[in-house]
Chains A and B, each alone.
Chain A
Amino acid sequence: MPINFTIDGKQVQGEKGETVLPVALRNNIDVPYFCYHPGLSLSGNCRMCLVRVTPAAPPPPKPGPDGKLPPAPPPPRSMLAISCMTQIADGMTVDTKTPDVLRAREGVMEFELINHPLDCPTCDQAGECFLQDHSYQHGRSHGRFYEERQMKHTKSLGPTISIWGSRCIVCSRCVRFTDEITGTGELCIVNRSDHSVVDVFPGKPLDNALSMCAEDVCPVGALISEDFKFKARVWFMKEQKTLCAGCSVGCNVVAEQVNEEIARLKPRENLAVNDWWMCDAGRLSYKQHALPGRLVEARVDGKAVTRAEAVLAAWQRLSAAGGAVAGLVSLWNTNEEMFLFRRLMKLLSAVAPMGTLEKSHGERKQFKGGFVIEGDRNPNRAGARAILGDVALEVGATAVRKAFEAGTVNALLVVSGAPELAISPEIEAMLARVKTLVVLDVLESSSAAKYAKVRLPATMHWEQDGTFVNVDGRVQRVRPVIQPPGDAAPALELLQEIVNRHPPGGSGVLSGDGVFRQLGAEIEAFRELTYREVGDLGVPARTAAQAVKA
């Protein structure tokens, strides 16, 4: 049964057990807060979300057996209460903008700031700081603290995080994070009163696979990520909503770039996938975009050529093989690319063996709060299963190799969207010996690129549009964060250009969404899906259960 009550005169609805603050936020009613975090237990210590709460009026008295009305109950007493911990109730009235509420907020803001160093000009949090935002909106215009400030420690808490203690507002979010989400409990608050500050036990640093989320939950600039420290002012960065591809979970992220360099990833809330978290390895995976030795020009037989020349050469050589063509595609390529890959392979040969390339598995880790890092370190295995089929996924690469060794294959198309794929010595040997090798790849050092006769520089998922299907069968968008380097182009485009060479020829190159719609027309798992429908948070594949079948 939904609970109906009013906030600032607006009728709102919530579920039993909810508190006022989330309901207000859901209804776009601005209530400032520091210590509240939807993913953590309630603490109620910052006092910023104070609102005026008036309980529902008691029902009017009913006449007693003697027919007389008992005295009316006293009207409910309204009081200031923190909205994050006030249970909602039918008929209650909440006011978030009464003068006393505004005064209380101003008071809390002033208290938060008296011992704060106000070092915004050198603070990495500046621009995305709750203190700054709330101070601007709810704070006083001038200070009146003429005393000596309370200083607290600045130190490293672990390999990834340091603390600027004087900025700490002791909201305890980070402590709750290590207690409740990672279960590792490295953080604590030491001392009391205005000496309170976050710390670790000596010799037990904050060092777990999710440690950098502690910086995310810090609403101010107290916890600072060593990776991002002094790197960029946040207001110069451009944001893009995309995915982490580090494992098959597909954590939703915001990637931010400055000058075509990705500066950092931050987890993006998605309750169906990663809640508010992501692992450190995934967060630092953006560094791959800047690996040295990116492919930046097309080559045919070792000679630099234009993209069009290389595309033509690719088509000519593959089609010249007379159907003795096989293909390998990486599990880091998007659904759209896999789909085009499949189409091209079909055009080239009725029986073309297809296989997949992938990164080696790692350890699966589950945390106290439920967050999981999957052992499968490839983002699109489920997509490959849906598009290429179980056979290609499970035994495809072996089949390709056997066909090559049996002499039924003498041309090979390799499409890769990531560095550091695990290539077995047998596959490597095949790459070295196959007569025709057309490669779409990203790094010069990759085995495929090394032996390629026709080599087209492709993109990583940071540089392109597309979709992945995660381990739970959820179709999610990746979006371009930065421009591809040099002449590199998404396999999405390159594969279409190659396909266009097929008689009668064509010149159209569809966008990601265009290919996705075609995919939806052909493959059940994506039936009638569009990018708009997939949106920022993704949708379950139509055949989710089948898609994730082990």
Chain B
Amino acid sequence: MSFTFTPERRAKLDALILRYPKKQAALLPALRMAEEQAGCVDFDAMEHVAEILDVSPAKVLGVFTFYTHYRRPGTGKHLVQVCATLPCALRGAEAVFDKFAAELGIGQDETTKDGMFTLKKVECLASCGSAVCVQVNDDYHENLTAETVPDLIRKLKESR
């Protein structure tokens, strides 16, 4: 198994487990910690988490695939998630997405060759009042239009 939590993270997870009457309840946070550590959640991480929480790896896989917000292996450094649900769509989400696609030269669920960007269309990010909203990794970028996309991409590229 090539994934192991760092001692600090493991200690944090162990402490967190104690906050629930059942170990398994810490499954979502544990996957999140694995994601923080490795940049994505892969099968090794899932197996490691399963072992710690005393559940079968299949159980972890089932849970992992149910939730869409964990980073899958192969995700670029910047995960660009364009909200395409109605309130954002009314404010031009499609154009924003297309602009990202054109600027980065990739489509839905694709990653740029340099591994910098992954582009995804996602459902509501709960930022409808500041549409169009794009979540890049942890950060919300709001009130975007197709015109402001290149600027955002430039900033992201500079932030490396």
Instruction: Give me the interface of A with B, judged by CB distance under 8 Å.
Output: 175, 178, 184-192, 199-204
Contacts and interface: CB of A to CB of B under 8 A. Distances in A.
Nearest to A201: B57
Given A190-B61, A201-B58, 8 more contacts: A175-B62, A185-B56, A185-B58, A186-B58, A188-B59, A188-B62, A199-B58, A201-B46
A202 B60 CA distance: 12
A201 B65 contact: no
Contact of B56 (A186, A189, A192, A202): A186
B70 interface: no
Nearest to A187: B58
Closest 9 CB pairs of A and B: A185-B56, A188-B62, A201-B57, A188-B58, A190-B65, A201-B58, A201-B61, A191-B65, A192-B66
B55 interface: yes
A201 B43 contact: yes
Interface string B63-91: 00110000000000000000000000000
Contacts of A202: 43
A178 B58 CA distance: 11
A203 B61 CA distance: 12
12 contacts: A175-B62, A178-B58, A184-B56, A185-B55, A185-B59, A186-B58, A190-B62, A190-B66, A191-B65, A191-B66, A201-B56, A204-B58
B57 A189 contact: no
Given A184-B56, A201-B56, A201-B57, A189 B43 contact: no
A191 B72 CA distance: 13
Interface of B (DSSP majority class):
helix
Interface string B43-60: 100110000000111111
Contacts of A175: 62
Nearest to B68: A192
A184 B58 CA distance: 10
Contacts of A204: 56-58
A28 to B, nearest CB: 37
Contacts of B58: 178, 185-188, 199-201, 204
A413 to B, nearest CB: 53
Contacts of A192: 65-66
A542 to B, nearest CB: 45
Which of B46, B58, B59, B61 has the most chain A CB within a 10 Å cutoff? B58
Contacts, number: 41
Contacts of A203: 43
Contacts of A178: 58
Contacts of B57: 201, 204
Nearest to B67: A192
Nearest to A206: B58
Nearest to B46: A201
Interface in B19-42: none
B66 to A, nearest CB: 5
Nearest to B64: A190
Contacts of A199: 58, 61-62
The listed residue with most B CB atoms (<10 A of its CB), out of A184, A188, A203, A204, is A188
A204 B59 CA distance: 12
Contacts of B59: 185, 188
A433 B56 CA distance: 57
A118 to B, nearest CB: 27
Contacts of B46: 201
A458 B55 CA distance: 50
* Max count, chain B CB within 10 A of own CB: residue among A186, A192, A201, A203: A201
A423 to B, nearest CB: 42
A241 to B, nearest CB: 35
Contacts of A187: 58
A512 B139 CA distance: 80
A175 B61 CA distance: 13
With most chain A CB atoms within 10 A of its CB, the pick from B55, B56, B57 is B56
A190 B66 CA distance: 7
Contacts of A201: 43, 46-47, 56-58, 60-61
A106 B69 CA distance: 36
A207 to B, nearest CB: 12
Contacts of A190: 61-62, 65-66
B76 to A, nearest CB: 22
B71 to A, nearest CB: 16
A483 to B, nearest CB: 44
Contacts of B55: 185
A187 B55 CA distance: 12
B42 to A, nearest CB: 10
A192 B65 CA distance: 8
A199 B47 CA distance: 15
Interface in B86-127: none
Contacts of B47: 201
A189 B59 CA distance: 8
A175 B62 CA distance: 11
A186 B50 CA distance: 12
Contacts of B56: 184-186, 188, 201, 204
A202 B42 CA distance: 11
Contacts of A200: 58
A192 B47 CA distance: 21
A29 B30 CA distance: 48
Contacts of B65: 190-192
A191 B62 CA distance: 7
A190 B57 CA distance: 12
A199 B55 CA distance: 16
A188 B60 CA distance: 9
Contacts of A185: 55-56, 58-59
A188 B58 CA distance: 5
Nearest to A203: B43
A185 B57 CA distance: 8
A191 B68 CA distance: 9
Nearest to A184: B56
B109 to A, nearest CB: 14
A178 B56 CA distance: 11
A175 B57 CA distance: 13
A503 B127 CA distance: 101
Nearest to B47: A201
Nearest to B62: A188
A486 B92 CA distance: 81
Contacts of A184: 56
B122 to A, nearest CB: 14
Nearest to B66: A192
